[in-house]
Chains A and B, each alone.
Chain A
Amino acid sequence: MFPELNNLLNTTPDRAEQGKLTLLCDAKTDGSFLVHHFLSFYLRANCKVCFVALIQSFSHYNIVGQKLGVSLTTARERGQLVLLEGLKSSVDVFFRAQEEPHPLQFLREANAETLQPLYEFVQEALKPVDSEEAVWRYPVLLVDDLSVLLSLGVGAVAVLDFVHYCRATVCWKLKGSMVALVHDTGDAEDEENDILLNGLSHQSHLILRAEGLVTGFCRDVHGQLTILWRRPLQPTAQREQSLTYQYKIQDKNVSFFARGMSPAVL
């Protein structure tokens, strides 16, 4: 969890907004630091977290989590974290009876039309259990990332439907929150990714967009982050709707500063 990002978003683990979809988007840079931020943020907030991790292994997330002060192993043992490790369980799909439902069932189908098994996994993971109700505050779904589903042969509309159902269940029915990462390829010919990105942008309440600098790599400024609030509660609120900051990723922290105000420049 990066305290400076919490300040920018005007939130803390104790008073995070519920029922919201936060879209993380990265273009020409790696936005995974945002995923690590939200994972540690919601674990600290004592939420029940379902983490659909399709990009990295559990140990990778665990090591980064430890740097940020949370132990994923402990959270998993306590039942706070339910993790779908895509790299590991994708192999399981091929070595089990076809009748058994598997969240990544689409990998086995020739033309994957629906992500319903994945949604059912999420629904099952975050289903409120009576004995646990007092322990965890609210459910959270975290996905890293949705673009890889396109690469695995799922259509953009199927991914949008999956997000729609997760939103209806997690954000609306269970009053929880949802965070998902999508890559912006910046390629006009990648129509599926454009549909996914724009469709998700329209569904989300808050968009965090990390972009690499147009001038290329820089040692002291790693990129810029644009924060866009899409549905403010008060349409005429004085809060700025969109903010842009530059950031530098450090070992255990990320520092944010106004554009052109990097400590290395001043």
Chain B
Amino acid sequence: MLDSLLALRGFVLLRDSVECEGRSLLKALIKKSALCGEQVHILGCEVSEEEFREGFDFDINNRVVYHNLFRDPLNWSKTEEALPGGPLGALRALCRRTHPGPVTIALDSLSWLLLHLPCTTLCQTLHALSHRDFCPDGSSSVEQVCVLGLLHEELHGPGLVGALSSLAQAEVTLSGMLSQTSASIVYRRPRQRPTRQTQCFSILPDFSLNLQGVLPLESQPHPGPPTTQVDPTTHLTFNLRLSKKEKEAKDSLTLPFHFSSEKQQALLCPGPGQATSRIFYEPDAYDDLDQEDPDDDLDI
């Protein structure tokens, strides 16, 4: 289920497309984890901080730390605005950040990072990020972090998407238009078969999730978005099957080309009502009547 995604503590991959953008869902999940009292770190590469924070209320904005990679990601401006170390440095800084209590890290977006970093480096960093070592008092303990990564899947080949999918604890693929969005979720638990589920949802203007129920499993083709099967027999202009009564009526009907004995009789001896027919023709003034015999030349 969508609402239990955050409880997984690991890497969650959100796959969106041009028609169905996934940033709203990412923001909804961020709001949810901020409401649970978690510290949220966002690595923003694609939209400005103002645009990302738009729609969040004061409390949530307070809990959200925005690492701004949008302003100057490649250090073209040569000012202090760029994050030190570029995108990779920013990611590694997120790994090192120590904060007591549960942490959610949102990457907006993985696509931007994938276009600028080698895939292997990114996968290793993501793994380190979601299983980071946390030692508040010197004792070595491993605390799991929830990492939400937004991926625009049209931008990458199947190989890269597959590599990231295999790293993810859960994978959410969005489909449909904004009014009716559905998410097909694949959970991967260690030593278990992956489970699939498709859920319809909508996102309210304040970025809270409005879940609208789970689609039945048989209507979920694998993989990819659900498509409705069209029944070709719904709008036929004729019956495919006949009832018993209709069948009797059909059998009792004589077809026009059926030559029966009654028909033969009727043709051989015309009845009293059927007078021999004649053609009355009155020539018109402009009729071009040919007096010659058309078969004259045949010499019959």
Per-position 1/0 for A214-255, Cβ under 8 A of B: 000000000000001011101110000110000000000000
Report the tally of A-B residue pairs with Cβ distances under 8 A: 67
Distance between Cα atoms of A202 and B16 in the complex (Å): 10
Contacts of A165 in B (CB 8 A): 74, 76
Q: Which of B19, B76, B116 contacts A116 (CB 8 A)?
A: B76
A56-74: CB near B (< 8 Å → 1, else 0) gives 0000000000000000000
A172/B177 in contact, CB under 8 A? no
Number of chain B interface residues as a range: 20 to 34
- Chain-A contact segment, one of B65-73, B185-193, B239-247: B65-73
Q: A35-43, A132-140, A193-201: which one contacts chain B?
A: A193-201
- Tell me if B152 and A198 are in contact (CB < 8 A): yes
- The contact string, 1 if C-beta is below 8 Å from chain A, for chain B 192-205, is 00000000001111
- Chain B residues, Cβ within 8 Å of A236: 179, 202-205
Q: Determine whether the beta carbon of A241 is less than 8 Å from that of B178.
A: yes
Is there a chain B Cβ closer than 8 Å to A9's Cβ? no
Contact A230 B21 (CB under 8 A): yes
Give CA–CA (A157, B156) in the complex, Å: 12
**B46 on the A face (CB < 8 A):** yes
List chain B residues, Cβ under 8 A from A201: 18
Beta-carbon contact of B155 and A199 below 8 Å: yes
Does any Cβ of A come within 8 Å of B48's Cβ? Answer: yes
Contact indicator A203/B46 (Cβ below 8 Å): yes
- A202-B111 contact, Cβ under 8 Å, with A157-B116, A230-B18, A231-B21: yes
| Chain B residues, CB < 8 A from A228 | 18-19
Evaluate contact between A164 and B73: CB separation under 8 angstroms. yes
22 pairs, A vs B, C-beta closer than 8 Å: A114-B74, A157-B115, A157-B116, A165-B74, A165-B76, A168-B72, A194-B154, A198-B18, A198-B152, A199-B152, A202-B21, A202-B111, A202-B155, A203-B46, A207-B18, A231-B23, A232-B178, A235-B178, A235-B203, A235-B207, A241-B177, A242-B19
Residues on B close to A: CB < 8 A?
A: 18-19, 21, 23-24, 46, 48, 50-51, 70-74, 76, 109, 111, 115-116, 152, 154-155, 177-179, 202-205, 207
What 12 additional pairs, Cβ within 8 angstroms, besides A164-B73, A202-B46? Answer: A114-B74, A157-B115, A168-B48, A168-B70, A172-B48, A172-B71, A195-B155, A198-B152, A199-B155, A207-B18, A231-B23, A235-B202
